[in-house]
Structure 1
Amino acid sequence: MKRNKLSDELLLKLKDVIPESRLLINEPLSKHTTFKIGGPADYLVFPASMDEISAIMIITKQYGIPVTVLGNGSNILVRDKGIKGLVLKFGSEMSYIRHTDASISAGAGAMLADVSCYAAKHGLSGMEFAVGIPGSIGGAVFMNAGAYSGEMCQVVTAVSGVCSNGNIQRFLPEQIQFAYRHSIFQNNGCIICEVELTLHKQEKPAISQKMDEYTFRRESKQPLEMPSAGSTFKRPPGNFAGTLIEKAGLKGLQVGGAQVSMKHAGFVINAGGATAEDVLLLIKEVQRRVYEDSGIMLHPEVRVIGEE
């Protein structure tokens, strides 16, 4: 980012709120995404509380600076020119997990697998489906993540977030507008900060057995050893994206360093040195050839963000 008076003023304001150890400038986002792809962020900030996020939103609004939430960096493809403005990524301070009876509260940065394992440890059922989903709970709510017939909408009872004006707001399920891979947070500009779940008590061995089964199924079928953003395409009605891609003979199809996984055709992986442009070109080619083969248009599940 080119330095100017505005950026210097903004930086000073941010340093009043965030210590320099949690504020990075021109940071390559390839270091912070599961795809290992992405250009630099003008500012990358690791907030420690909702109050800090509120203060940041007020400052960025004052200076007209866009804010992007990266979360854990999964399910995201950052373009090669990076992201202008300020990027928020939740660190350990926003990754807490605690419970009372059958309710769990988790900071938006808490990993889904950690929340799932925490619930199991305390004999709480309902989060088993999430044990292998590679992402944070905030990102999971944002896109209503799901697997094995489970979805976040089934367990979320409230979400606390910070809106663009800096106000802290609590959202109830009917306000969240959950749908397939969708929530209100994709449209309202509010940043998910804390998630409240309501689960139910069950014997620990039964919970563990289900989690072990899901883990085995995921590890045996998905290319978890390679950088990716998880499932690349949404599931088309009455079908599976991976099945359609495989039937079209596209396993192993490669553009630059981006490749359709040989292990699971529903995943585009970074086979080595892939750029965002490689991934986008490969996605378009897969869409074109699957449509030619089956008449079904696949739609990306991975979110593409950043400068074109």
Structure 2
Amino acid sequence: METWSLLETFSNFDIKKNEPLSAHTNTRVGGPADYAFWPTSLDELRQVVRYAKANEIPVTVLGNASNLIIGDQGLTGVVIFLTKLNQITVQGTELRAEAGAMIIDLAQFAQTKALSGLEWAAGIPGSVGGAVYMNAGAYGGQVDGWLKTAEVLTTDGEIKTLTNDDLDFSYRYSSVQTTGDILIAASFSLQNGNATEILAQMEDFNERRASRQPLEFPSCGSVFKRPTGFFAGRLIMDAGLQGYMVGGAQVSIKHAGFIVNRGQASGADYIAVIKHVQAVVRDKFDVNLEPEVRILGE
């Protein structure tokens, strides 16, 4: 029997009960959250995190909900969306962004200040917090190459500043994935550049992305990590899996590394396609495809 009283305790906060997560994920799949919360300040976030810990309420933190799949049963406890914590500031060649800011917006802001280093992020649909959490990258660039520090809120409600080394970055990994800390802001050390040249580079990357990726359908982005010595998309294509479909979830015909929602897909459809792709690629090529996408509430 649920005994939480989030709505009553924080009646002036933006909290919704039984909120369908499919309304907020890029895949357009996902069951309901017991509670969904959009903090408008760090103090609000800290209050709810401390309350959740004291009452043993599970907490899931999401940014733009772009690189994840949520199961049809939804998520227990409180799901925190950081999208309203999105301020970006600049001092010299250093940019600081709150975790809910979109990484695309950060790249565009950097361009307006003639700061180079984030061109690769121009088309990534995630948040700054999600990008740091996953050590996101594209076109030869990656978060760990430019991040100076990250600010986190611990499960005890304390704020810590972590250095690049503290985050123990590796391919699609940061230490925050294991500590349970909540990313609240990140600072990037960039380089002075030419705004026109930076814009041209960003536009080139975005044109390449549009020509190669199935941006016309909802998706979670690249589904699998790159296996050592291989490319996931190439393996899936060579296995003859492009177009493979369960329910409304389909291995993209345009880019085999993507699974798109062709209409009314469920979380179970997505998970079934992922498992099938893994099994076929393992059988044909003896390669284990590890999901890059987060799968929650399976």
How many residue pairs match? The answer is 298
- How far apart, CA to CA, are the structure 1 residues paired with 2:148 and 2:108? 19
The answer to whether the 8 A contact 2:27-2:260 is kept is: yes
Corresponding residue for 1:248?
A: 239
Q: How does 1:155-174 map to 2 (within 5 A)?
A: 155-174=146-165
1:132 aligns with 2:123: yes
- Shift, 1:11, TM fit: 2.9
The answer to whether the 8 A contact 1:54-1:168 is kept is: no
Q: How does 1:134-153 map to 2 (within 5 A)?
A: 134-153=125-144
Is there any run of 5+ residues in structure 2 with no aligned partner, and where? none
Is there any run of 5+ residues in structure 1 with no aligned partner, and where? none
Which residue type is aligned with residue 209 of structure 2?
R
- How far apart, CA to CA, are the structure 2 residues paired with 1:47 and 1:173? 26
1:7 aligns with 2:9: no
Question: Which of the residues 263, 273, 276 maps onto 2:264?
Answer: 273
Partner secondary structure for residue 117 of structure 1: helix
Partner secondary structure for residue 133 of structure 1: coil
- How far apart, CA to CA, are the structure 1 residues paired with 2:178 and 2:112? 35
Output the aligned Cα RMSD.
1.1
Corresponding residue for 1:30?
A: 22
- How far apart, CA to CA, are the structure 2 residues paired with 1:42 and 1:29? 10
1:74 aligns with 2:70: no
Which residue type is aligned with residue 12 of structure 1?
E
- Shift, 1:70, TM fit: 1.4
- How far apart, CA to CA, are the structure 1 residues paired with 2:185 and 2:225? 26
Corresponding residue for 1:219?
A: 210
Percent identity reads 43
The answer to whether the 8 A contact 1:103-1:198 is kept is: yes
- How far apart, CA to CA, are the structure 1 residues paired with 2:248 and 2:106? 33
Q: Report the TM-score, using the length of structure 1 for normalisation.
A: 0.94
- How far apart, CA to CA, are the structure 1 residues paired with 2:271 and 2:35? 25
For residues 139-185 of structure 1, the C-alpha deviation after alignment (integer angstroms, 9 at most, x for no partner) is 00000000011100011101111110111111111111111000011
Which residue type is aligned with residue 154 of structure 1?
G
The answer to whether the 8 A contact 2:104-2:121 is kept is: yes
- Shift, 1:39, TM fit: 0.4
The answer to whether the 8 A contact 2:72-2:266 is kept is: yes
For residues 253-291 of structure 1, the C-alpha deviation after alignment (integer angstroms, 9 at most, x for no partner) is 001111000110000111111111111111111111112
1:239 aligns with 2:235: no
1:115 aligns with 2:112: no
Partner secondary structure for residue 288 of structure 2: coil
Q: Report the TM-score, using the length of structure 2 for normalisation.
A: 0.98
Which residue type is aligned with residue 235 of structure 1?
R
- How far apart, CA to CA, are the structure 1 residues paired with 2:230 and 2:177? 25
Corresponding residue for 1:48?
A: 40
Which residue type is aligned with residue 98 of structure 1?
T
Partner secondary structure for residue 85 of structure 1: strand
- How far apart, CA to CA, are the structure 2 residues paired with 1:239 and 1:204? 35
The answer to whether the 8 A contact 1:290-1:296 is kept is: yes
- Shift, 1:55, TM fit: 1.2
- How far apart, CA to CA, are the structure 1 residues paired with 2:195 and 2:76? 46
Corresponding residue for 1:257?
A: 248
The answer to whether the 8 A contact 1:158-1:171 is kept is: yes
Corresponding residue for 1:193?
A: 184
Which residue type is aligned with residue 160 of structure 1?
E
For residues 69-103 of structure 1, the C-alpha deviation after alignment (integer angstroms, 9 at most, x for no partner) is 111111110110000000100133x1111101100
The answer to whether the 8 A contact 1:116-1:130 is kept is: yes
- How far apart, CA to CA, are the structure 2 residues paired with 1:166 and 1:41? 22
